[in-house]
Amino acid sequence: MAIQTQRKMTVAEYLKWEERQECKHEYIDGDIIEMTGGTLKHTRIKTNIGGLLYTLLDFSTYVLCNSDMRVRIDPTRYVYPDFSIVNGEPRMEDKKEVTLLNPVFVVEVTSPSSNTYDRVDKLGYYLDVPSIEAYLIIDQDRVRADLCTRADEGWYVRVFNQSGAVIPLDALNCQFPLADAYRGIEFSAAESA
């Protein structure tokens, strides 16, 4: 997904302005970041992940949200993860129910333009949200998933880069077969390297 930064706004200006926009925009400390569309590969991976999470989750316990759901990181940062999951009742910032406050798990699928943003900036943002127990980063251009999990003594990162890997999603009480995220996707030798 391509990223373009626009002019600065206050939080109140952003929230009001964002309601009228056709595409989504993240808000980071006054900066407006346009979230443009993704490639076919990006869309297929997201669709695969959404379908897989739909089959894995116990919906009597968890609520699965797609990238239409905005998540408040803190009072000056709002983002749109590709997926966010709540354990129990979702807590919303507003009566319109467009801003989630308590995800326990978030997923981002990288793209060439968002790779650094997802792996560095968003990683830092998500680590600061007390409710988030895990952050899964799925690479668009090769078989790779980074699972960041919260523990009492800090955060751990595990890298899974074999298509046969099964990722333990303890925060969701399930296991995620990495190959299913890439169903129907083929990588060239250059992409796989």
| Per-residue confidence (pLDDT) for residue 2, from 0 to 100 | 45
| Per-residue confidence (pLDDT) for residue 1, from 0 to 100 | 44
Domains of the chain, with CATH numbers?
Answer: 38-192 (3.90.1570.10)
Residues of the chain falling short of pLDDT 50:
1-4
- State the SS3 of the chain: CCEEEEEECCHHHHHHHHCCCCCCEEEECCEEEEECCCCHHHHHHHHHHHHHHHHHCCCCCEEEEECCCEEEEECCEEECCCEEEEECCCCECCCCCCEECCCCEEEEECCCCCHHHHHHHHHHHHHCCCCCCEEEEECCCCCCEEEEEEECCEEEEEEECCCCCEEEEHHHCEEEEHHHHCCCCCCCHHHHC
The pTM of this model reads: 0.90
| Per-residue confidence (pLDDT) for residue 181, from 0 to 100 | 97
Whether 100 contacts 86, CB under 8 Å? yes
CB atoms < 10 A from the CB of 175, how many?
Answer: 11
Q: Tell me the per-residue pLDDT of 23-74, one tens digit each, with 9 for 90 and over.
A: 899 999 999 988 877 789 999 999 999 999 999 999 999 999 999 999 999 9
